[in-house]
Structure 1
Amino acid sequence: MTTESKYAARVIALLCIAEVLSMTGFAAYPAMLPKLHDDWGFSNAEAGFVGGSIFFGYMLAVPFLSSLTDRIDARGVFAASCCLTASGTAGFALMASGVMSGALFQALTGAGLAGTYMPGLKVLTDRVEGPRQARYIAFYTATFGVGTSVSLLAAGMLSGTLSWRWSFAHLASGPLLASLVVLLGLHAKAPHGVHHRPWFPPIGAVLLQREIRRFILGYAVHCWELFGLRSWMVAFIVFSYAMAHDAPALSATEAAALINLFGLAASILGNEAAGRIGRTKWIAGILATASVMCWLAGMASSWTWWLMLAVLALYFMVVMADSAALTTGLVQASPLAQRGAAMAVYSLFGFGAGCLSPLVFGMTLDFAGGSNSSWAWILAFGTLGSGGLIWSVTARPDMK
């Protein structure tokens, strides 16, 4: 292994570790949603509102934080944002008492996430270039799923013996450790374009670039589906388990964590396939497939528990199969000095969609009969795939 390869491997390893640690509180709310639903007595729409608030906070903060990485070292943005994430998770533990306060601290956690996920990618692309960069990006973006799985597992284990407040409090330590990993493990590096980039991303100028716009809109429909699914996955498994005739071998949080891990391989292999088949063609095919699979996953609630989990896992893998392909396409299509701004707009649209999706899912549950109705779950799952089908149809002229 060459010195350059060793350096790249070290950067990737440190960033992946830091990303996982920074996300320990990310899935705490959906993992504990059944408990919170009983304690707070809110509707499914209110539950979806709180669940989507983490993405609302992300959406508000990401234009500034990601664009900031074109002016200052992204490493500093990552480290400071980890402290913000820890504050949101700890605040939820100490002070959340209902819908509005819960949403506030979820939004604060999301604002911190806005300064870690995409700025972490900027840390990577500022330090590692060359022909293997696309593969490195795929590994890093896939780590988001690992972080989600670790968060689900940790939240499930802690809530089994502790109250939900103490569980949230313990999970707040992860982002603080992530900050230390990045500050102590990586050297400082001045970003490209530091002297002339604006503090806020030029959204209009970014969207005028046709190729970049295609990936941004693709990411929006991807996040609509992914974050809607992640926000309600544990609650759906709990509902399905209640109808099972035999005892499931996995708890709901363990099953959700395992399913999220399957997304790691799907994202990495999907990026490899996109490089061979054609990026737009691959993404369009995946989004079209997911728009059908979402209905099948919703129908699986009354099936044998292991078959339900298998279908849910397959659906999640399809959803994740275009994740790294979209992000890699965005990075490769963006001029070097504008990459932070492009990432900011990319995240703004993606996590903006992710903010609305859990709410629409919950509203659909309420409208169609509530979370104890199989038909309501089918319709709620159906809302996840609508945007992907539209994108895949409109992208046909761009397929090569």
Structure 2
Amino acid sequence: MLLTQVLSIMGFACYAASLTLIQTEWHLSHFESGFLASSFFLGYVAIVPLATTLTDKIDTRQIYLSGGIAAGLGLFGMGFLASGFHDAWIYLMLHGAGISATYMPGLKIISDRVKIGEVTRHISFYTAFFGIGAASSYFISGLLIESHGWRYAFMVTSIGPTLAGILAWVGTQKLPHEKSLWDVHFEMSDIFPLQRWKKVLAVKEATGYMLGYAAHSLELFASRSWLVAFFTYCATVASPDNAFPMTATVIATMINLIGVPASIVGNEMALRIGRHRWVYWIMIGSAISGIALGAAVHMHWSILLILALLHSIFIMADSATLTAGLVISVPQDIKGSAMGLHSVLGFGGGLLGPAIFGAVLDITRLLHSDSWIPAYASIVVWGLLFIFYTQFSVWKTRRSHQS
């Protein structure tokens, strides 16, 4: 499943790696470019409630296979058919819808089958491998774009999620209680399981982790979507004696890779000092490092790289902690629905993040200011708001019970 995780998101960073090229070719504003990045998450949020709720009812491998095929079709359509903003968002949305049927269902496949050891460690490795997949996507996309153009990159990377779906199907076995997709009666409650979501939200501990995941995902996916564009801009305005020694996509690959150990080590630290305390400190560090990165546009490339790596470490250090905390805080019978709501809120944040970042870039440049600082501030502030809210509301109840 770790291999399928990497393959499933082979095309995840293809748009981010080609954003500046597509923006120039189609004459897009920063907001339009950001909205296209958000289209992936629009598709994800639209389908993930159904995909994850059905994991409590049917063979999860069938969901994963369907998602892999849909994601592949979205990527191929973007490369082969897209002709402008008006239709590109549809293909990117299809890609996101497909990934929604692989990411959390893949985690469900693992959590239902692994019964030994500390379950949060298995979860932390799975979520960390998202970073490996994203890094691979940046690197592969960058090579393909440089050699054959962005359309070719989308078409080639469409192979990844399709292959992931096939491997998940043949590499894992159906559980005795799981039914076939064709043997299950579907209801509207399967798409929007409001009653089951109410049960999830009644667990205040779980609610806190989901809100934290929303703030985390907004910052993560906004920064990832604009990372290549940010370093491309920095390289453009750099003086001749401050030339960047590597391409923006290679830098993005490095930044994503550093997030892998950060996520795993972060979960271990959370087990030792407490999840709440760990999440709070990490979100504060992420906010500080994010604004510092936005302010460092004209600094030496080595300082920029260090700040970007530091920001990535802080962003990813609570990723596994938030998801693992959610999984172990809800009863088994609503775990699939809990994962679905977790994804809706998290990737809902991912939906807003890139568009917010792009809109702030447009607005501040109209005001003739250095726009990267407010752009980064607009995505890190949500973590600080989460800390303030949970300190006095959601997690306050649990602390009073423990005292």
Normalising by the smaller structure, the TM-score range is over 0.9
Contact 1:193 1:338 in 2 (8 A): no
Q: Which amino acid in 2 is paired with 1:199?
A: D
- The one-letter code matched in structure 1 to 2:92 is Q
Distance 1:146 1:248, change over 3 A: same
Query: Do 1:70 and 1:193's aligned partners in 2 also have CA atoms closer than 8 Å?
Result: no
Gaps of 5+ in 1: 1-14
2:43 alignment partner in structure 1 = 57
State the match for 1:393 in structure 2. 388
1:376 is matched with: 371
* Partner SS for 2:370: helix
| Of 155-164 and 283-292, the range deviating more from structure 2 | 283-292
Aligned position for 1:11:
none
Letter in 2 for 1:49: F
Distance 2:278 2:245 in 1: 35
SS in 2 for 1:385: helix
Task: Return the offset for 1:370.
Answer: 6.3
Give the corresponding residue for 1:240: 234
Q: In the alignment, does 2:56 pair up with 1:80?
A: no
- Count, aligned residues: 385
Equivalent residue, structure 2, for 1:119: 105
Deviation for aligned residue 1:208: 2.2
Query: Does residue 1:228 correspond to 2:219, yes or no?
Result: no
Q: What is the 5 A alignment of 1:98-247?
A: 98-190=84-176, 199-200=190-191, 201=193, 202-245=196-239, 246-247=242-243
Mapping 1:250-399, distance limit 5 Å: 250-369=246-365, 375-396=370-391, 397=396, 398=398
Letter of the structure 2 residue corresponding to residue 242 of structure 1:
T
8 A contact 2:212–2:386 mirrored in 1? yes
Task: Structure 2: give runs of 5+ residues left out of the alignment.
Answer: none
Residue by residue, what CA displacement relative to the aligned partner does 1:179-219 show, whole Å, maximum 9, x if unpaired?
A: 22111211111458999996243323322221111111010
Offset of 1:266 from its aligned partner? 0.5
Instruction: State the alpha-carbon separation in 1 of the partners of residues 73 and 142 from structure 2.
Output: 21
Q: TM-score, normalised by structure 2?
A: 0.92
Distance 2:149 2:245 in 1: 24
Q: Percent identity?
A: 37
For 1:161, give the aligned amino acid: S
SS of the residue 1:145 aligns to: helix
Q: Considering only aligned residues, what root-mean-square deviation do their CA atoms show, in Å?
A: 1.9
Relative to structure 2, which stretch is displaced further, 385-394 or 341-350? 385-394
Alignment CA distance shift 1:21-1:374 (3 Å): farther
Query: Shift of residue 274 of structure 1?
Result: 0.5
Q: Specify the code of the residue in structure 2 equivalent to 1:257.
A: T
Are 1:30 and 2:26 matched, yes or no? no
CA distance in structure 2 between the aligned counterparts of 1:375 and 1:317, rounded to whole angstroms: 25
Please give the TM-score of this superposition, normalised by the length of structure 1: 0.92
1:222 to 1:192, Cα distance in 2 relative to 1, 3 A: farther
1:109–1:191 CA distance, 2 compared to 1 (3 A)? farther
CA–CA separation in structure 2 for the residues paired with 1:319 and 1:191: 38
- Once residues 284 and 49 of structure 1 are traced to their aligned partners in structure 2, the CA distance between those partners, rounded to angstroms, is 29
